[in-house]
Amino acid sequence: MEDLSRDRGISDFFLARSVAVIGASPNPDKLGHALLANLLGGGFRGRVYPVNPKEAQILGVKVYPTIQDIPDQLDLTVVAIPARMVAESLRAAVGKGARAAIVISGGFREAGRLDLEDELKALSAETGLRIVGPNCQGINYLPNRLCASWPLLTVQGPIAVISQSGTVAATLGQWASEEGFGVSGLVSLGNQLDVCGSDLLEFFASDPNTGAIALYLEGARDGPWFIRTVRRVVCTKPLVVLKSGSTVGGQRAASSHTRSLAGKDEIFDGLCRQLGIFRAGNIEALYDSAKAMATLAPRMGRRLMVVTSSGGSGILAVDQAEKLGLELPRLPTEVVVRLQTAEIPPNATLSNPLDLTVATAPQFQNALDILQAYDTADFFLLIFGDPIPGAAEVARKVREASGARVAVAYLGGGEVEKAERLKMHVLGIPVFPTPERAVQAIHAASWAATFRVQNRIGNADSTVPTEKEGIH
Amino acid sequence: MEDLSRDRGISDFFLARSVAVIGASPNPDKLGHALLANLLGGGFRGRVYPVNPKEAQILGVKVYPTIQDIPDQLDLTVVAIPARMVAESLRAAVGKGARAAIVISGGFREAGRLDLEDELKALSAETGLRIVGPNCQGINYLPNRLCASWPLLTVQGPIAVISQSGTVAATLGQWASEEGFGVSGLVSLGNQLDVCGSDLLEFFASDPNTGAIALYLEGARDGPWFIRTVRRVVCTKPLVVLKSGSTVGGQRAASSHTRSLAGKDEIFDGLCRQLGIFRAGNIEALYDSAKAMATLAPRMGRRLMVVTSSGGSGILAVDQAEKLGLELPRLPTEVVVRLQTAEIPPNATLSNPLDLTVATAPQFQNALDILQAYDTADFFLLIFGDPIPGAAEVARKVREASGARVAVAYLGGGEVEKAERLKMHVLGIPVFPTPERAVQAIHAASWAATFRVQNRIGNADSTVPTEKEGIH
């Protein structure tokens, strides 16, 4: 059994008020430079203490020759120095009160230096210091404006990312930043000598700033613990996983990367279905699914209504929906009759997908007002296939009227598209670059919601607890 | 049999020296405004004549009240006025010498007005005027800086896009523009009353500015003609197709959109394999495949060497490669021995994928110099999973040394990534946003090359002609 008291220290990483950067560097090519620059540039709400015996000042901030010289109590330490020097630094940080450490440095287990990793493990056990890493890319937590990682992320949003690959985490963070959707937090796990994926799942499950969790996994270290954790997590937060090593060659590569035992892919697949983890097929689906899960209402139905200004995109959406088992209900006769006299383009095809042809935002609105007056669908997909100013306002109204059951695909709209997409993301409406990706994401959100509803209603005596029994 | 003399008029669209815009508008919400603005903003190499009886000047350009007033011989006419007025305008344009017309206006067959469409058909037959559309989004041809479409495209590159959906075409054009890859030309087919996909395939197959063709299809009007055309086209240019209506629901929607008969999906699938058309599964795969086909050497082999600074991305690449039947050969012992003493990160995993861990551009270069000294692979995939300045220069050298057998996945690198990606695209090196998409694209290029090589070598007596017998 996991030691539940272990969970307590995890929030120290995210809520830290003072951070030391050991190995802060004036050289822009060094990670110790990027880490300091991003802590400062991200607008961290606490105090930052760079440590480097050779420098007096970096990026305009006073540098301390040793940890001992820092005139403050430390919460968190970020370490980017050679592996053999890490343990000593961490011990000094503990002396200054640090309860959490992020070890960016590589050169431990992944490099055959089990001895160095064991040293940190012993130190953690002895002092209670919680350690993320080593051999990792750090942590972001936007509510605290903490960017102890790279690249710099400054846009807060509702998805948390936990990843065994620093690059996969950074990629999701960068996408979310660029399109104004944002993340709540982001953790690169590295070698997981102490803090592991399950710890972080627990944290984000109870984090009010997180609406859905995206997890990139090469293999779970402690299977039973992971399973127990997931059972609790999915009661409060939808969870999507990208698991690599799904082929024999991939498993071999995974074992070299983080020494994870990947296990048989079919077994993991079955486990996901049983536990209510939505399994993504690639990095983009991991991101898209989390976006939809964090923003769409947890609705069980599978009926999709597509309203589009691009006929071709509508067909591609239908193809994808049918492949994934979503239904496109026919329009009730009454709706068709009302659409026939509505102010929408005269050449519109009055079916599902409702192809408005080249249409303005008010024409979209007119059609949607009619569709929403009837129980036509569980989810709406709006496809804007042109520069359509005002598209965001249309989506906002549909979102309000439907109770967050709308997703958008916006494509081929140039600068107008970019501006409208940004507005929609600020409003919490998920926008996808293609109809296929939008439908896949709606499918993911619907699947996760259906799992939750079915397991609460259908299995009152099952091991899945109700929300109140969830973790706290 | 198709009338081969028909082909001749097609180049008039692309090489026009004088263009009239009928329905040019001062109102930025009108298509007649966007068309004029983009012809001017794209830097069209010829002369532009806006026509509008109510305006004297639009966007600083003199406007002519009627076509008859234009003091010049016309090559091309772009029309964005109500459907019922189109025929008369086109007749006037023919009077001014026009041999080609793009009818943007909708309201013809797709709106049940077969009579209006028949009128244009008769006019085309009578006068020899070639017509693209109606109900289309126009044409781009970058070598002539012709943007009679939207959004504005100004970046020339090696892929041609032909599409039954204006939005799908615009989307590919926009992606190619934004990431500095570019397109050679782009055509939205609309109702295909005269000029059809086969005509354009012929044009781009013999266009020296086009390296690969991306086609979005809902259904071919004249199957036998399409098949004969494709047989010739694939001898000179790789061809990738996204065909919607691959499900029953999608077919129903396709029939509403362009009245295309979609046909059974399995039959189309078999046809693609037989003809050498690579079939893409979604809009992004259509774009990615064309990018790889236009830039990678037409090499038959399936051996892939992956060099990465991101372990996780390397595993995802392996998974994807194995799913698509690409091989990742083991490193020869001699290569491993040389890598052991090379100046690369000490924790690198010396296998395929070669995981360099956090690495600089020179370290990538050192590893690649060794790998390229041996016949290790048919294609190289470089995965840059960090801000790595100088990545483009590494890729350039690998491209030169290998004879264009390198593709790149660049992710999680922030602003550095964007700058390096742009450089690589200018150099003709295809860059993809994820390892999965990069591997899929390499697979597409390898598949197309293999088809060409096998059909020339293996079937000397087959109906597939050699390059010299191709169309001209």
Condensed to tens digits (0 to 9), the pLDDT of residues B59-87 reads 999 999 999 999 999 999 999 999 999 99
**pLDDT at residue number A343:** 97
Q: Which residues of A touch B435 (CB under 8 A)?
A: 283
With CB atoms and an 8 Å threshold, state whether B312 touches A436: no
pLDDT at A68 over 80: yes
Residues 6+ apart with CB under 8 A from B454: B300
**pLDDT at residue number B461:** 34
Task: List chain B domain ranges.
Answer: 4-292, 298-454
pLDDT at A471 over 80: no
Nearest neighbour of A319 by CB, restricted to B244, B316, B435: B244
Greatest alpha-carbon pair distance for chain A in Å reads: 78
Q: Which residue of B has its CA nearest to A314?
A: B253
pLDDT at A168 over 70: yes
With CB atoms and an 8 Å threshold, state whether A318 touches B250: yes
**pLDDT at residue number B454:** 84
With CB atoms and an 8 Å threshold, state whether B319 touches A246: yes
Residue-averaged pLDDT of chain A: 91
Condensed to tens digits (0 to 9), the pLDDT of residues B326-384 reads 999 999 999 999 999 999 998 899 999 999 988 999 999 999 999 999 988 999 999 99
Distances (CA, A) of B344 to A80, A115, A254, A402, B341: 19, 23, 21, 56, 8
Q: How far is B472 from chain A (nearest CA, A)?
A: 31
Q: Which residue of A has its CA nearest to B324?
A: A247
Nearest neighbour of A244 by CB, restricted to B111, B242, B315: B315
Nearest neighbour of B247 by CB, restricted to A169, A250, A322: A322
d(CA B116, CA B102): 15
pLDDT at A47 over 50: yes
Q: How far is B432 from chain A (nearest CA, A)?
A: 12
pLDDT at A418 over 80: yes
Do the first three CATH levels of A4-292 and A298-454 match, i.e. the same topology? yes
Nearest neighbour of A218 by CB, restricted to B34, B252, B315: B315
**pLDDT at residue number A263:** 65
With CB atoms and an 8 Å threshold, state whether B282 touches A434: yes
Residue A470 — left, alpha, or beta (φ > 0 → left; ψ -120 to 50 → alpha)?
A: beta
Condensed to tens digits (0 to 9), the pLDDT of residues A82-139 reads 999 999 999 999 999 999 999 999 999 988 899 999 999 999 999 999 999 999 999 9
Q: Which residues of B touch A414 (CB under 8 A)?
A: 150-152, 174
| Cα three-residue angle B298-B299-B303, rounded to 5 degrees | 145
pLDDT at A67 over 60: yes
Categorize the per-residue pLDDT at A465 as very low, low, confident or very high, splitting at 50, 70 and 90.
very low
pLDDT at B245 over 60: yes
Nearest neighbour of B245 by CB, restricted to A167, A258, A315: A315
Q: Which residues of A touch B319 (CB under 8 A)?
A: 244-247, 249-250
With CB atoms and an 8 Å threshold, state whether A282 touches B247: no
With CB atoms and an 8 Å threshold, state whether B312 touches A346: no
Interface test with A, best of B150, B167, B415, B420 (most A CBs within 10 A): B167
Q: How far is B462 from chain A (nearest CA, A)?
A: 35
With CB atoms and an 8 Å threshold, state whether A253 touches B358: no
Across the range B46-51, mean pLDDT stands at 97
Could you tell me what percent of chain A has a pLDDT over 70? 93
Q: Which residues of B touch A382 (CB under 8 A)?
A: none
Across the range B14-26, mean pLDDT stands at 97
Task: Could you list the beta-strand ranges (E) of A111-205.
Answer: 130-132, 138-141, 146-149, 156-163, 183-188
Q: Which residue of B has its CA nearest to A354?
A: B253
Q: Which residue of B has its CA nearest to A355?
A: B257
**pLDDT at residue number A467:** 33
**pLDDT at residue number A7:** 53
Q: Which residues of A touch B349 (CB under 8 A)?
A: 256-257
Nearest neighbour of A314 by CB, restricted to B151, B253, B319: B253
The pTM (predicted TM-score) of the whole model is 0.93
Q: Which residues of B touch A250 (CB under 8 A)?
A: 315-316, 318-319, 322
CATH architecture group of domain A4-292: 3-Layer(aba) Sandwich (3.40)
With CB atoms and an 8 Å threshold, state whether B312 touches A357: no
Interface test with A, best of B315, B326, B383, B411 (most A CBs within 10 A): B315
With CB atoms and an 8 Å threshold, state whether A314 touches B436: no
**pLDDT at residue number A259:** 56
**pLDDT at residue number A358:** 86
Nearest neighbour of B414 by CB, restricted to A110, A174, A311: A174
d(CA B170, CA B392): 28
Beta bridge partners of A213: A160, A239
Total CB pairs under 8 A between chain A and B: 242
Across the range A296-307, mean pLDDT stands at 94
With CB atoms and an 8 Å threshold, state whether A322 touches B249: yes
Across the range A188-192, mean pLDDT stands at 95
Q: How far is A377 from chain B (nearest CA, A)?
A: 16
pLDDT at A273 over 90: yes
Determine the 3-state secondary structure of A267 from DSSP. Answer: helix
**pLDDT at residue number A466:** 33
With CB atoms and an 8 Å threshold, state whether A413 touches B110: no
pLDDT top residue among B16 and B461: B16
Q: Which residues of A touch B165 (CB under 8 A)?
A: 310-313, 385
B145 token code pair:
């800086």
Condensed to tens digits (0 to 9), the pLDDT of residues B294-332 reads 999 998 899 999 999 999 999 999 999 999 999 999 999
Q: Which residue of A has its CA nearest to B254?
A: A315
pLDDT top residue among A435 and A8: A435
Residues 6+ apart with CB under 8 A from A326: A302, A303, A304, A439, A442, A443, A446
d(CA B155, CA B178): 9
Across the range A19-38, mean pLDDT stands at 96
Condensed to tens digits (0 to 9), the pLDDT of residues B200-236 reads 999 999 999 999 999 999 987 778 889 999 999 999 9
**pLDDT at residue number B260:** 57
Residues 6+ apart with CB under 8 A from B250: A315, A316, A318, A319, A322, B244, B262
Element holding B158 (H helix, E strand): strand B156-163
d(CA B222, CA A223): 58
Q: Are B372 and B295 in contact (CB under 8 A)?
A: no
Among A461-465, B296-300, B445-449, the minimum mean pLDDT is found in A461-465
**pLDDT at residue number A134:** 97
Edge-to-edge strand list for the sheet holding B431-432: B354-355, B304-308, B379-384, B406-410, B431-432
Categorize the per-residue pLDDT at B261 as very low, low, confident or very high, splitting at 50, 70 and 90.
low
Greatest alpha-carbon pair distance for chain B in Å reads: 78
Q: Which of A39, A70, A231 is nearest to A139 (CA)?
A: A39
Q: Which residue of A has its CA nearest to B323?
A: A247
Q: Which residues of A touch B151 (CB under 8 A)?
A: 387, 412-415
Q: Which residues of B touch A163 (CB under 8 A)?
A: 312
Q: Which residues of A touch B173 (CB under 8 A)?
A: 412
B397 token code pair:
């050298």
**pLDDT at residue number B4:** 45
Q: What is the DSSP letter of B314?
A: H
Q: How far is B72 from chain A (nearest CA, A)?
A: 33
With CB atoms and an 8 Å threshold, state whether B311 touches A106: no
B388 token code pair:
């790595």
Q: Which residue of A has its CA nearest to B316?
A: A244
Q: How far is B411 from chain A (nearest CA, A)?
A: 6
d(CA B107, CA A346): 8
With CB atoms and an 8 Å threshold, state whether A313 touches B167: yes
**pLDDT at residue number B262:** 52
With CB atoms and an 8 Å threshold, state whether A256 touches B349: yes
pLDDT top residue among A459 and B270: B270
With CB atoms and an 8 Å threshold, state whether B151 touches A387: yes
Residue-averaged pLDDT of chain B: 91
Across the range B45-56, mean pLDDT stands at 96
Could you tell me what percent of chain A has a pLDDT over 90? 82
With CB atoms and an 8 Å threshold, state whether B309 touches A152: no
d(CA A445, CA A310): 24
Q: What is the DSSP letter of B23?
A: T
Could you tell me what percent of chain B has a pLDDT over 90? 82
* Cβ count within 10 A of residue A223: 14
**pLDDT at residue number B6:** 46
pLDDT at A220 over 90: no
With CB atoms and an 8 Å threshold, state whether B244 touches A283: no
Residue for token pair 């589009």: A308
| Cα three-residue angle A216-A222-A224, rounded to 5 degrees | 105
CATH superfamily label, B298-454: Succinyl-CoA synthetase domains (3.40.50.261)
**pLDDT at residue number A258:** 60
Categorize the per-residue pLDDT at A154 as very low, low, confident or very high, splitting at 50, 70 and 90.
very high
With CB atoms and an 8 Å threshold, state whether B358 touches A106: yes
* Per-range mean pLDDT, top range of A97-101, B258-262, B373-377, B413-417: A97-101
Condensed to tens digits (0 to 9), the pLDDT of residues A305-354 reads 999 999 999 999 999 999 999 999 999 999 999 999 999 998 899 999 99
**pLDDT at residue number A472:** 25
With CB atoms and an 8 Å threshold, state whether B411 touches A349: no
**pLDDT at residue number A461:** 34
